[in-house]
Amino acid sequence: MKGIVFVEFLEMVEQQFSADLADDLIDNSDLPSGGAYTAVGTYDHTEIVTLVLALSQESGIPVPDLIKAFGEYLFGRFFELYPSFFEGVSDCMDFLSRIEDVIHVEVKKLYPSAQLPKFDIDYPDRDHLVMVYHSDRHLGDLAEGLIQQSIKHFKEQITLERENLDEEGATVRFTLTRAA
């Protein structure tokens, strides 16, 4: 997993909890990398799970809630860091429908070692979008947070429904419907 994800996660912990807590998570987690992340480095994705578990133990907030909250935070950072992905985009579904064929394709060019999820996209009309998430990293909660924040970002009335299509969380269907 790319270091940018870790850097942003620790930044969120500093902002929403404290810098001391961010340091404690690293010190107490016995991470193979030692926790000295750089944005362009690549690290074992299980380290993010370890850090989220540690944050859950410290804060008492369940792991899925923390991962979703991180997805919401990360969307805001992506908007700041990669404005070009938002150019010429007319609305939320337009943006999300480009994840697989445009945005993550560009991400892969920027970071060839990035391990990205696969999304099957069905965008039959401007009011309906179905995104089926596939990933061995089981980060459907992260996808949910990113999608949720993208709906908020575009200030649109869209309902989001989530269905886990397997036990492990490797396949998740997100159905977006524009409210009438």
- Residues making contact with ligand HEM (CB under 6 A): 1-2, 4-5, 78, 82, 85, 96, 99, 103-104, 107, 111, 114-117, 135, 137, 139, 142-143, 146-147, 150
Nearest to 9 by CA among 40, 48, 38, 35: 48
Nearer of residues 55 and 133 to ligand HEM, judged by Cβ: 133
Closest approach, Cβ 118 to ligand HEM, in A, equals 8
Q: Which two tokens stand for residue 49?
A: 């799970």
Q: To the nearest whole angstrom, how small is the minimum distance from the Cβ of residue 180 to ligand HEM?
A: 24
Distance CA 119, CA 177 (A): 17
* Beta carbon of residue 156, minimum distance to ligand HEM (angstroms, whole number): 14
Three-state DSSP class for residue 21: helix
Min separation Cβ 139 and ligand HEM, Å: 4
Lookup: tokens for 92: 């939320």
Quick one: 12 or 99, whose CB is closer to ligand HEM? 99
| Of 82 and 127, CB closest to ligand HEM | 82
| DSSP string for residues in 43-102 | --THHHHHHHHHHHHHH---HHHHHHHHHHHHHHHHHHH-GGGGTT--SHHHHHTTIIII
Nearer to ligand HEM, 111 or 123 (CB): 111
